[in-house]
A = this chain, B = another copy of it.
Protein backbone atom coordinates (compact mmCIF):
# COMPACT_ATOMS: atom_id res chain seq x y z
CA UNK A 1 0.00 0.00 0.00
CA UNK A 2 1.27 3.46 -0.88
CA UNK A 3 2.86 5.24 2.07
CA UNK A 4 2.19 8.83 1.07
CA UNK A 5 4.03 10.02 4.17
CA UNK A 6 7.38 8.74 2.86
CA UNK A 7 9.37 11.38 1.00
CA UNK A 8 12.78 9.78 1.08
CA UNK A 9 14.84 6.62 1.56
CA UNK A 10 17.82 6.13 3.86
CA UNK A 11 21.12 6.66 2.08
CA UNK A 12 19.79 9.03 -0.60
CA UNK A 13 19.51 12.80 -0.89
CA UNK A 14 17.64 14.90 -3.42
CA UNK A 15 17.64 18.31 -5.03
CA UNK A 16 15.72 19.96 -7.85
CA UNK A 17 15.78 23.34 -9.49
CA UNK A 18 14.66 25.44 -12.43
CA UNK A 19 17.62 25.75 -14.79
CA UNK A 20 15.65 27.44 -17.54
CA UNK A 21 15.31 24.36 -19.77
CA UNK A 22 11.53 24.65 -19.65
CA UNK A 23 10.17 27.91 -21.02
CA UNK A 24 7.57 27.85 -18.25
CA UNK A 25 10.28 28.38 -15.64
CA UNK A 26 9.16 25.28 -13.75
CA UNK A 27 11.46 22.71 -12.11
CA UNK A 28 13.46 21.01 -14.84
CA UNK A 29 16.66 19.64 -13.33
CA UNK A 30 17.15 17.16 -10.50
CA UNK A 31 19.84 15.23 -8.68
CA UNK A 32 19.47 12.01 -6.74
CA UNK A 33 22.65 11.20 -4.82
CA UNK A 34 23.55 8.16 -2.74
CA UNK A 35 25.84 8.60 0.25
CA UNK A 36 28.05 5.89 -1.21
CA UNK A 37 28.00 3.97 -4.50
CA UNK A 38 24.72 2.02 -4.64
CA UNK A 39 24.05 -1.28 -6.33
CA UNK A 40 22.04 -0.60 -9.44
CA UNK A 41 20.20 -2.06 -12.41
CA UNK A 42 18.56 -0.43 -15.39
CA UNK A 43 16.14 -1.13 -18.20
CA UNK A 44 16.37 1.09 -21.27
CA UNK A 45 14.41 1.87 -24.43
CA UNK A 46 14.30 -0.83 -27.11
CA UNK A 47 13.94 1.84 -29.78
CA UNK A 48 16.89 1.69 -32.20
CA UNK A 49 16.97 5.46 -32.12
CA UNK A 50 18.59 5.86 -28.73
CA UNK A 51 19.04 9.29 -27.16
CA UNK A 52 22.53 10.37 -26.16
CA UNK A 53 21.99 10.17 -22.37
CA UNK A 54 20.82 6.55 -22.74
CA UNK A 55 23.90 5.77 -24.82
CA UNK A 56 26.10 7.14 -22.04
CA UNK A 57 24.07 5.91 -19.07
CA UNK A 58 23.34 2.30 -20.05
CA UNK A 59 26.94 1.00 -20.04
CA UNK A 60 27.64 2.77 -16.74
CA UNK A 61 24.62 1.17 -15.08
CA UNK A 62 25.68 -2.22 -16.44
CA UNK A 63 28.83 -1.94 -14.33
CA UNK A 64 26.51 -2.40 -11.35
CA UNK A 65 27.33 0.70 -9.26
CA UNK A 66 25.79 4.15 -9.37
CA UNK A 67 26.04 7.05 -6.96
CA UNK A 68 24.17 9.86 -8.65
CA UNK A 69 21.40 10.42 -11.15
CA UNK A 70 21.30 13.75 -12.99
CA UNK A 71 18.05 14.15 -14.86
CA UNK A 72 16.59 17.03 -16.83
CA UNK A 73 13.28 17.71 -18.50
CA UNK A 74 12.70 20.23 -21.30
CA UNK A 75 15.27 18.73 -23.68
CA UNK A 76 15.64 15.05 -24.65
CA UNK A 77 19.15 15.33 -26.11
CA UNK A 78 17.92 12.86 -28.76
CA UNK A 79 18.86 12.88 -32.46
CA UNK A 80 21.71 15.17 -31.59
CA UNK A 81 24.59 13.01 -32.90
CA UNK A 82 28.15 13.23 -31.62
CA UNK A 83 27.54 16.64 -30.04
CA UNK A 84 24.72 15.08 -28.01
CA UNK A 85 27.04 12.38 -26.66
CA UNK A 86 29.69 14.96 -25.76
CA UNK A 87 27.04 17.02 -23.99
CA UNK A 88 25.71 14.03 -22.05
CA UNK A 89 29.26 13.14 -21.00
CA UNK A 90 29.86 16.73 -19.95
CA UNK A 91 26.65 16.74 -17.85
CA UNK A 92 27.93 13.70 -15.99
CA UNK A 93 31.34 15.31 -15.54
CA UNK A 94 29.86 18.50 -14.11
CA UNK A 95 27.84 16.51 -11.60
CA UNK A 96 30.80 14.29 -10.69
CA UNK A 97 33.03 17.31 -10.07
CA UNK A 98 30.41 19.05 -7.97
CA UNK A 99 29.85 15.89 -5.90
CA UNK A 100 33.49 14.86 -5.76
CA UNK A 101 32.81 11.40 -7.18
CA UNK A 102 33.99 9.36 -10.17
CA UNK A 103 32.01 10.37 -13.29
CA UNK A 104 31.47 6.71 -14.16
CA UNK A 105 29.18 6.63 -11.11
CA UNK A 106 26.86 9.30 -12.56
CA UNK A 107 23.75 8.27 -14.52
CA UNK A 108 22.45 10.94 -16.91
CA UNK A 109 18.88 11.08 -18.14
CA UNK A 110 16.94 13.56 -20.26
CA UNK A 111 13.37 14.10 -21.46
CA UNK A 112 11.86 16.84 -23.59
CA UNK A 113 12.40 18.38 -27.01
CA UNK A 114 14.01 16.13 -29.60
CA UNK A 115 16.66 17.30 -32.04
CA UNK A 116 17.82 20.38 -30.15
CA UNK A 117 21.27 20.66 -28.51
CA UNK A 118 21.41 20.80 -24.72
CA UNK A 119 21.97 24.37 -23.47
CA UNK A 120 25.19 23.44 -21.69
CA UNK A 121 25.77 26.83 -20.06
CA UNK A 122 22.61 26.30 -18.04
CA UNK A 123 23.92 22.94 -16.81
CA UNK A 124 27.33 24.42 -15.94
CA UNK A 125 25.56 26.98 -13.80
CA UNK A 126 22.77 24.96 -12.23
CA UNK A 127 24.30 21.56 -11.43
CA UNK A 128 26.85 22.76 -8.83
CA UNK A 129 24.06 24.74 -7.13
CA UNK A 130 21.91 21.63 -6.90
CA UNK A 131 24.82 19.62 -5.55
CA UNK A 132 25.05 22.11 -2.70
CA UNK A 133 21.33 21.83 -1.88
CA UNK A 134 20.91 18.08 -1.43
CA UNK A 135 18.41 17.11 1.26
CA UNK A 136 16.71 14.00 2.52
CA UNK A 137 12.94 13.70 2.10
CA UNK A 138 12.88 15.77 -1.10
CA UNK A 139 11.93 13.02 -3.53
CA UNK A 140 8.75 14.96 -4.37
CA UNK A 141 10.76 17.75 -5.94
CA UNK A 142 12.50 15.24 -8.16
CA UNK A 143 9.13 13.82 -9.22
CA UNK A 144 8.03 17.36 -10.12
CA UNK A 145 11.24 18.21 -11.97
CA UNK A 146 10.98 15.29 -14.37
CA UNK A 147 7.42 16.11 -15.49
CA UNK A 148 6.81 17.13 -19.09
CA UNK A 149 3.17 16.86 -20.22
CA UNK A 150 2.33 15.01 -17.02
CA UNK A 151 -0.57 16.58 -15.18
CA UNK A 152 0.53 15.27 -11.78
CA UNK A 153 3.82 14.18 -10.18
CA UNK A 154 4.16 10.44 -9.74
CA UNK A 155 5.57 8.95 -6.54
CA UNK A 156 4.85 5.66 -4.78
CA UNK A 157 6.50 4.29 -1.66
CA UNK A 158 6.16 1.13 0.41
CA UNK A 159 7.84 -0.37 3.45
CA UNK A 160 9.01 -3.91 4.12
CA UNK A 161 10.93 -5.74 6.79
CA UNK A 162 13.83 -8.18 6.74
CA UNK A 163 15.77 -9.56 9.73
CA UNK A 164 13.58 -7.34 11.91
CA UNK A 165 14.89 -4.29 10.07
CA UNK A 166 12.47 -2.05 8.17
CA UNK A 167 13.30 -0.97 4.63
CA UNK A 168 11.67 1.23 2.02
CA UNK A 169 11.18 1.19 -1.71
CA UNK A 170 10.36 4.56 -3.23
CA UNK A 171 9.81 5.27 -6.90
CA UNK A 172 9.29 8.41 -8.93
CA UNK A 173 8.21 8.34 -12.56
CA UNK A 174 7.14 10.53 -15.43
CA UNK A 175 5.23 9.81 -18.59
CA UNK A 176 1.98 10.64 -20.28
CA UNK A 177 2.58 9.75 -23.92
CA UNK A 178 5.45 10.27 -26.32
CA UNK A 179 4.78 13.83 -27.23
CA UNK A 180 6.79 16.44 -29.05
CA UNK A 181 8.09 18.79 -27.84
CA UNK A 182 8.29 16.39 -24.95
CA UNK A 183 9.48 13.39 -26.80
CA UNK A 184 10.39 11.02 -24.06
CA UNK A 185 7.61 8.87 -22.71
CA UNK A 186 8.76 7.37 -19.56
CA UNK A 187 11.40 7.68 -16.89
CA UNK A 188 11.31 5.94 -13.53
CA UNK A 189 13.82 5.97 -10.70
CA UNK A 190 13.35 3.42 -7.95
CA UNK A 191 15.31 3.69 -4.71
CA UNK A 192 15.59 1.31 -1.80
CA UNK A 193 17.65 1.23 1.35
CA UNK A 194 17.44 -2.58 1.51
CA UNK A 195 20.76 -4.34 1.08
CA UNK A 196 20.45 -6.65 -1.94
CA UNK A 197 22.84 -9.22 -3.38
CA UNK A 198 24.35 -7.98 -6.64
CA UNK A 199 22.64 -10.37 -9.05
CA UNK A 200 19.24 -9.91 -7.45
CA UNK A 201 19.09 -6.16 -8.21
CA UNK A 202 18.95 -6.79 -11.93
CA UNK A 203 16.60 -9.81 -11.95
CA UNK A 204 14.22 -8.14 -9.50
CA UNK A 205 14.03 -4.99 -11.62
CA UNK A 206 13.52 -6.91 -14.86
CA UNK A 207 10.71 -8.99 -13.39
CA UNK A 208 8.91 -5.93 -12.04
CA UNK A 209 9.29 -3.99 -15.29
CA UNK A 210 7.89 -6.95 -17.20
CA UNK A 211 4.69 -6.89 -15.19
CA UNK A 212 4.32 -3.10 -15.09
CA UNK A 213 5.91 -0.71 -17.59
CA UNK A 214 5.91 -3.46 -20.23
CA UNK A 215 2.15 -3.95 -19.81
CA UNK A 216 0.93 -0.41 -20.33
CA UNK A 217 0.09 1.50 -23.45
CA UNK A 218 -1.07 4.99 -24.16
CA UNK A 219 -0.32 5.17 -27.85
CA UNK A 220 1.97 2.28 -28.81
CA UNK A 221 4.85 4.65 -29.44
CA UNK A 222 8.18 3.73 -27.87
CA UNK A 223 10.42 6.62 -27.04
CA UNK A 224 14.09 7.28 -27.61
CA UNK A 225 14.73 8.10 -23.94
CA UNK A 226 12.88 5.48 -21.85
CA UNK A 227 14.77 4.44 -18.74
CA UNK A 228 13.98 2.69 -15.45
CA UNK A 229 16.74 2.60 -12.83
CA UNK A 230 16.80 0.80 -9.48
CA UNK A 231 19.37 1.89 -6.90
CA UNK A 232 19.89 0.06 -3.60
CA UNK A 233 21.81 1.97 -0.91
CA UNK A 234 21.95 -0.83 1.66
CA UNK A 235 21.47 1.76 4.41
CA UNK A 236 18.80 -0.42 6.07
CA UNK A 237 21.64 -2.54 7.38
CA UNK A 238 20.04 -5.94 6.74
CA UNK A 239 21.96 -9.00 5.60
CA UNK A 240 21.98 -8.86 1.78
CA UNK A 241 18.76 -10.27 0.29
CA UNK A 242 19.64 -13.13 -2.07
CA UNK A 243 17.57 -14.26 -5.04
CA UNK A 244 15.33 -17.23 -4.21
CA UNK A 245 15.03 -16.46 -0.48
CA UNK A 246 11.78 -15.73 1.32
CA UNK A 247 12.97 -12.16 1.84
CA UNK A 248 13.60 -11.87 -1.88
CA UNK A 249 10.01 -12.96 -2.59
CA UNK A 250 8.71 -10.29 -0.26
CA UNK A 251 10.99 -7.64 -1.73
CA UNK A 252 9.91 -8.66 -5.22
CA UNK A 253 6.19 -8.26 -4.42
CA UNK A 254 6.82 -4.84 -2.95
CA UNK A 255 8.92 -3.80 -5.93
CA UNK A 256 6.22 -5.17 -8.28
CA UNK A 257 3.65 -3.08 -6.45
CA UNK A 258 5.69 0.12 -6.69
CA UNK A 259 6.35 -0.29 -10.41
CA UNK A 260 2.80 -1.35 -11.26
CA UNK A 261 1.28 1.55 -9.36
CA UNK A 262 3.67 4.01 -11.04
CA UNK A 263 2.82 2.44 -14.39
CA UNK A 264 -0.90 2.80 -13.73
CA UNK A 265 -0.37 6.45 -12.78
CA UNK A 266 1.23 6.97 -16.19
CA UNK A 267 -1.77 5.47 -17.99
CA UNK A 268 -4.23 7.36 -15.78
CA UNK A 269 -2.30 10.50 -16.75
CA UNK A 270 -2.21 9.38 -20.42
CA UNK A 271 -2.59 12.22 -22.85
CA UNK A 272 -6.27 13.13 -22.96
CA UNK A 273 -7.24 9.98 -21.07
CA UNK A 274 -10.49 9.78 -19.09
CA UNK A 275 -10.37 6.03 -18.34
CA UNK A 276 -7.92 3.48 -16.94
CA UNK A 277 -8.86 0.09 -18.37
CA UNK A 278 -7.32 -3.26 -17.46
CA UNK A 279 -7.48 -5.81 -20.28
CA UNK A 280 -7.23 -9.25 -18.74
CA UNK A 281 -6.83 -12.27 -20.98
CA UNK A 282 -7.13 -15.81 -19.61
CA UNK A 283 -7.35 -19.23 -21.24
CA UNK A 284 -4.78 -18.46 -23.94
CA UNK A 285 -2.56 -21.19 -25.38
CA UNK A 286 0.39 -19.60 -23.52
CA UNK A 287 1.21 -16.54 -21.44
CA UNK A 288 2.94 -15.06 -24.47
CA UNK A 289 -0.19 -15.46 -26.59
CA UNK A 290 -2.31 -14.00 -23.81
CA UNK A 291 -0.05 -10.98 -23.88
CA UNK A 292 -0.31 -10.69 -27.66
CA UNK A 293 -4.10 -10.71 -27.41
CA UNK A 294 -4.18 -8.25 -24.49
CA UNK A 295 -1.77 -5.92 -26.30
CA UNK A 296 -3.81 -6.06 -29.51
CA UNK A 297 -7.00 -5.08 -27.68
CA UNK A 298 -5.25 -2.46 -25.54
CA UNK A 299 -3.71 -0.72 -28.54
CA UNK A 300 -6.67 -0.81 -30.93
CA UNK A 301 -7.76 2.73 -31.79
CA UNK A 302 -11.29 1.46 -32.32
CA UNK A 303 -11.43 -0.21 -28.90
CA UNK A 304 -9.95 2.90 -27.26
CA UNK A 305 -12.44 5.27 -28.93
CA UNK A 306 -15.26 2.92 -27.86
CA UNK A 307 -14.05 3.22 -24.24
CA UNK A 308 -14.18 7.00 -24.62
CA UNK A 309 -17.69 6.65 -26.06
CA UNK A 310 -18.66 4.42 -23.08
CA UNK A 311 -19.81 1.86 -25.60
CA UNK A 312 -19.82 -1.87 -24.74
CA UNK A 313 -18.60 -2.60 -28.25
CA UNK A 314 -17.46 -6.21 -27.97
CA UNK A 315 -17.26 -6.58 -31.75
CA UNK A 316 -14.16 -4.39 -31.83
CA UNK A 317 -12.63 -6.37 -28.96
CA UNK A 318 -13.22 -9.76 -30.53
CA UNK A 319 -11.89 -8.45 -33.86
CA UNK A 320 -8.72 -7.17 -32.13
CA UNK A 321 -8.25 -10.59 -30.52
CA UNK A 322 -8.78 -12.14 -33.94
CA UNK A 323 -5.94 -10.24 -35.60
CA UNK A 324 -3.57 -10.45 -32.61
CA UNK A 325 -1.92 -13.62 -33.83
CA UNK A 326 -2.97 -15.54 -30.72
CA UNK A 327 -4.67 -18.89 -31.24
CA UNK A 328 -8.40 -18.29 -30.97
CA UNK A 329 -11.63 -20.11 -31.74
CA UNK A 330 -14.13 -17.28 -32.18
CA UNK A 331 -16.94 -19.56 -31.09
CA UNK A 332 -15.37 -20.19 -27.69
CA UNK A 333 -14.56 -16.62 -26.64
CA UNK A 334 -16.18 -15.16 -23.50
CA UNK A 335 -16.00 -11.44 -22.73
CA UNK A 336 -17.03 -9.61 -19.56
CA UNK A 337 -17.02 -5.90 -18.73
CA UNK A 338 -16.42 -5.99 -14.99
CA UNK A 339 -18.83 -8.67 -13.80
CA UNK A 340 -21.20 -8.32 -16.76
CA UNK A 341 -20.94 -11.04 -19.45
CA UNK A 342 -21.44 -9.57 -22.93
CA UNK A 343 -20.13 -12.45 -25.04
CA UNK A 344 -20.58 -16.16 -24.30
CA UNK A 345 -19.02 -18.67 -26.70
CA UNK A 346 -18.55 -15.97 -29.33
CA UNK A 347 -22.16 -14.79 -29.32
CA UNK A 348 -23.60 -11.62 -27.84
CA UNK A 349 -25.62 -12.12 -24.64
CA UNK A 350 -28.31 -9.64 -25.60
CA UNK A 351 -29.36 -6.02 -25.25
CA UNK A 352 -30.18 -6.18 -21.55
CA UNK A 353 -26.68 -7.24 -20.48
CA UNK A 354 -25.13 -4.83 -23.00
CA UNK A 355 -27.01 -2.03 -21.25
CA UNK A 356 -25.67 -3.23 -17.88
CA UNK A 357 -22.16 -3.33 -19.34
CA UNK A 358 -22.56 0.27 -20.46
CA UNK A 359 -22.92 1.21 -16.78
CA UNK A 360 -19.50 -0.40 -16.13
CA UNK A 361 -18.01 1.63 -18.98
CA UNK A 362 -19.25 4.84 -17.39
CA UNK A 363 -16.90 4.30 -14.43
CA UNK A 364 -13.37 5.75 -14.65
CA UNK A 365 -11.58 2.44 -14.01
CA UNK A 366 -12.74 -1.03 -15.00
CA UNK A 367 -11.52 -4.39 -16.29
CA UNK A 368 -12.36 -6.17 -19.53
CA UNK A 369 -12.05 -9.95 -19.06
CA UNK A 370 -11.43 -12.06 -22.15
CA UNK A 371 -11.39 -15.86 -21.82
CA UNK A 372 -10.12 -17.67 -24.93
CA UNK A 373 -10.59 -21.23 -23.54
CA UNK A 374 -7.52 -22.51 -25.39
CA UNK A 375 -5.21 -23.23 -22.44
CA UNK A 376 -4.01 -21.68 -19.21
CA UNK A 377 -2.06 -18.68 -20.54
CA UNK A 378 -2.86 -15.34 -18.90
CA UNK A 379 -1.74 -11.73 -19.11
CA UNK A 380 -2.97 -8.21 -18.51
CA UNK A 381 -2.45 -4.81 -20.04
CA UNK A 382 -3.43 -1.36 -18.87
CA UNK A 383 -4.65 1.13 -21.43
CA UNK A 384 -6.37 4.50 -21.66
CA UNK A 385 -9.15 5.69 -23.91
CA UNK A 386 -8.53 7.62 -27.15
CA UNK A 387 -10.16 11.01 -26.87
CA UNK A 388 -10.53 14.39 -28.53
CA UNK A 389 -7.97 15.67 -26.07
CA UNK A 390 -5.40 13.09 -27.23
CA UNK A 391 -5.72 14.50 -30.74
CA UNK A 392 -5.73 18.05 -29.42
CA UNK A 393 -2.59 17.58 -27.33
CA UNK A 394 -0.73 15.91 -30.17
CA UNK A 395 -1.95 17.96 -33.12
CA UNK A 396 -2.52 21.38 -31.63
CA UNK A 397 0.18 21.73 -29.04
CA UNK A 398 1.51 24.85 -30.74
CA UNK A 399 -1.72 26.72 -30.31
A interface residue numbers (CB < 8 A to B): 46-50, 78-81, 114-115, 177-180, 183, 219-224, 299-302, 305-306, 308-309, 311, 313-316, 318-323, 327-328, 330-331, 343, 345-348, 386-388, 390-392, 394-398
Contact = CB atoms under 8 A, between A and B. Distances in A.
B311 A398 contact: yes
A393 to B, nearest CB: 8
Given A319-B183, A391-B391, A79 B219 contact: no
A180 B115 contact: no
Nearest to A343: B79
A316 B219 CA distance: 12
A301 B49 contact: no
A395 B331 CA distance: 27
B301 A219 contact: yes
Contacts of A314: 115
Contacts of A396: 309
A314 B309 CA distance: 31
Given A79-B346, A115-B315, A347-B79, A46 B394 contact: no
B221 A79 contact: no
B301 A301 contact: yes
B81 A315 contact: no
A305 B387 CA distance: 12
Nearest to A345: B81
A64 B11 CA distance: 75
Contacts of A79: 315, 318, 330, 343, 346-348
Contact of A302 (B46, B299, B394, B398): B394
A250 B397 CA distance: 48
A398 to B, nearest CB: 7
Copies of this subunit:
2
Contacts of A390: 301, 305, 391
B323 A47 contact: yes
A275 to B, nearest CB: 11
B397 A309 contact: yes
Contacts of A224: 319, 322
11 contacts: A47-B323, A49-B330, A50-B322, A79-B315, A80-B347, A115-B348, A219-B302, A301-B301, A305-B395, A387-B395, A388-B388
A391 B304 CA distance: 9
Given A309-B396, A387-B395, A388-B391, 10 more contacts: A48-B328, A79-B346, A115-B315, A177-B302, A180-B311, A180-B315, A220-B301, A221-B300, A221-B319, A305-B390
B221 A301 contact: yes
A391 B387 contact: yes
A221 B320 CA distance: 7
A179 B302 contact: yes
B315 A114 contact: yes
A387 B301 CA distance: 12
Contacts of A219: 300-302
B180 A306 contact: yes
Contacts of A80: 347
Contacts of A115: 314-315, 347-348
Contact of A316 (B221, B306, B321): B221
Contact of A398 (B78, B309, B347): B309
Contact of A306 (B46, B305, B321, B395): B395
Contacts of A386: 301, 391, 395
B301 A394 contact: yes
A183 B50 CA distance: 39
